[in-house]
Amino acid sequence: MNESTNTESSVPATSPAATPAANGKPIIKIVGVGNAGLAVLDCIVARGIDSVELLAINSDAASLAACSVPSKMLLENKLMRGLGTGGDPERGRQLADAELPKLKPLFEGVSGVFIVVGLGGGAGSGICPVLARAAKEAGALTLAFITTPFDCEGSRRREIASEALDDLKAAADGVICLPNQKVLKLIDENTSLIDTFKSSNDLLADGVQGVWRLLAHRGLIEIHFSDFCKLLRDRHTESALGVAEASGLDRSQEVIQKLFAHPLLEGGEILGESDAILVSLLGGPDLSMAQINRVMEQIQNRCEKAQVMMGAAVDESFRDRLSVTLIAARKNGKSESVYEVRGNGESAEELDDQLMTRGGGARPPSRFIPPPPSLPADKMQKMLAKQGRGGGAKTGKALPKMRQAQLPLEIVSKGRFDKSEPTIHQGEDLDVPTYIRRGISLN
């Protein structure tokens, strides 16, 4: 992925990111994974985005059947008996690994894949890193739109989510993350659970729609797919996205206000900290230069040190409306090392040189895929140990190994704190013994 833009300019015909569809627009596929992903897809369907392929993937047949997206894919194996992954991301991963040959063809000839997923469960967290890798190997720009669980969902889900997020960051070209906890700030006391999840889904759908618009509309001031890749590359650990729309006479003022009030941009504070910002404006034929100027001026004032990239597009249906999509990205010291190229001692540049000197020989359709990130020694040990166990099972049966889990049937009594006010800290009840909360067994 590292050098895709460079190769693009030299060998544009084979570069997948520039693969245009017949009508000159890039083909974009939106994939929802897991229950949360399906919910967001439903949301997107309701908005009626056309000229985009939607695909729903889940391990749970029932929720897949309820989804309104026409093209669906069920990942299952016999051992699950239609019960889904049961919150175990390992199962999701194994499922997806097993179905990898089926997944890859889905992304052939597609220029952009958006993976929409809620991390923290089994299906989403397990499947989506594999999916992202498959999409990227098929040569598509892969963007993941994710939500992370609420704090009150407990530390287990949080850990699963953060592990999956790390995997995803290594696999996808870009990750745009919406922590659900931030949504909590937006809603008031009386908001129902359904509405809370709906607003979270809406925000994510907003993001998907915004980025899709940015890429799908032929702009007057164009943002290329390649620009977009460049912006997100190496920075996606810290990217935030805001979408705002306004109509009426004062729409340029209003849209800016809405944008800065966007929860993901933390009141515009993010802008000051980011070092690359992409702004895409979409308006009707009546979009004036003054409006663009006003919006950009406001944004630029907020982020003096950032590199700002802008695009503007005109859509007939946006008469008297103005929509702004803003992606802010920050380089993160840690992420650099993660994406460092490893193996064979070849740097990305060298690889590229090799490809080019091959002299018009067939270039494989896939772009350069970085090897998996280097792991610290202890994690490696852990993974090796896991593999060892998995290998043992494989010799007996070809089926992916299922872990025997113990159900938490034992009810933890709080002893002397039973009747006192519980001490809750970030969703954890501190009155329950630490060793139980951390799942450490005493034997």
Partner 1 sequence: MFDPSSSIIVGLEIGTSKVCAVVGELSADNALNIVGLGQSRSRGVRKGEITDPSMAEEDIRQAIVEAEQMADVEIRSVYLGVTGGHLCGFNNRGVHPVVSADREICEDDVQDVIKNAKAINLPAQNHVIHAIRQHFLVDGQDGITNPVGMLGARVEVDVHVVHGNLNRLQNAIRTVKGLQLEVDDIVFNGLAASLALLSNEQKELGSVVIDIGGGATEFVVYGNGIIKHTGVLAVGGDHISNDLAYGLKVPLSRAEQLKIEHGSAMVDDSAKGQTIAITNELGMPLRTINLEHLRRIMSLRLEEVFQLICHNLSQAGAFEYLRSGVFLCGGGARIPEITRLAEQVLGMPVTAGKTNSISGLKSALDQPEFAAAIGLVKFGSLQQRKRAARSLFGQGIRSTIGNLFKRA
Q: How many residues does the chain have?
A: 443
402 phi and psi angles, rounded to 5 deg: -105, 135
Q: Smallest gap, in angstroms, from Cβ of residue 425 to partner 1?
A: 6
User: Strand ranges (DSSP E) for 107-238?
Assistant: 112-118, 141-148, 174-179, 219-221
**Listed residue (183, 189, 215) closest to 202, CA to CA:** 183
**The residue type at 4:** S
Residue type, 107: F
Nearest distance in Å: CB 438, partner 1 = 7
What distance in Å separates the CA atoms of residue 41 and residue 145, rounded to the nearest whole number?
Answer: 12
In the bound complex, what is the minimum distance in angstroms from residue 424's beta carbon to partner 1?
A: 9
User: Measured between alpha carbons, how far is 112 from 143 in angstroms, rounded to an integer?
Assistant: 8
Cβ closest to partner 1, residue 374 vs residue 423: 423
Nearest distance from C-beta of residue 296 to partner 1, angstroms: 33
Q: Considering the complex, state which of residue 395 and residue 413 has its C-beta at the smaller distance from partner 1.
A: 413
Of 433, 434, 437, 401, nearest in space to 417 by CA = 433
Question: CB-wise, 224 or 437, nearer to partner 1?
Answer: 437
The CB-of-423 to partner 1 minimum distance in angstroms stands at 4
Q: How far is the CB of 18 from partner 1 (least distance, A)?
A: 46
CA 205, CA 118: separation in Å to the nearest integer?
12
Where do contacts with partner 1 occur on this chain (CB under 8 A)?
A: 412-417, 420-421, 423, 425, 430-431, 433-436, 438, 440, 442
Could you tell me the two tokens for 89?
Answer: 């991301």
10 Å CB burial of residue 87 (0-12, 13-18, 19+) is middle
- According to DSSP, the residues that pair with 243 across neighbouring strands are 325
Closest contact distance (angstroms) between CB of 431 and partner 1 is 7
Indicate the residue among 359 and 415 with the shorter CB distance to partner 1. 415
Question: Which runs of consecutive H residues, i.e. helices, occur in 187-250?
Answer: 193-216, 225-232
Q: 121 has which bridge partners?
A: 119
Q: How far apart are CA 65 and CA 62, in angstroms?
A: 5
CB of 328 to partner 1, least distance (A): 23
